[in-house]
Structure 1
Amino acid sequence: MHSSPSRKRALPLDRNLYQLRYRVECFFHDLKRFRAVATRYDKTGPSYLAVLHIASMLLWLR
């Protein structure tokens, strides 16, 4: 979370940006738990996007 100890000057940390990034990473982790999303069974773009929408809605309703 902090800069490397070998740095002479510590880099600033934007906690709000870090929290948002963490939430996005957790969302993608949860999304990949859906097998159809992780393995991409659907070959066409529109059908894969539909699976993404359904999985996202299920996660949001949870």
Structure 2
Amino acid sequence: MLSVDALGNSISFCLSPGQACDFDGADVLLHNLSTDPLIAGIAYDADQRVLQRLERQGKIAVIPPKRNRTHLREYDKH
């Protein structure tokens, strides 16, 4: 897993086994996140492991909600 800045330059990364869940890397990278908004794919639409953690840190999550959510939350599409 890799985190990059707005220009695509790598900021930090976490190597994990191929069979590991992406959230294992996210747990490591979200702990040291230095940016305010986090832009991620739909796969990271997870309340406890991503969204609530970012909210506690005062960060903005720009992550599209999964279609099967009962409550579709707002996000910046642009």
Q: TM-score, normalised by structure 2?
A: 0.25
TM superposition score normalised by structure 1:
0.29
Q: Comparing both structures, which one devotes a greater share of its residues to helix?
A: 1
Specify which structure has the higher proportion of strand: 2
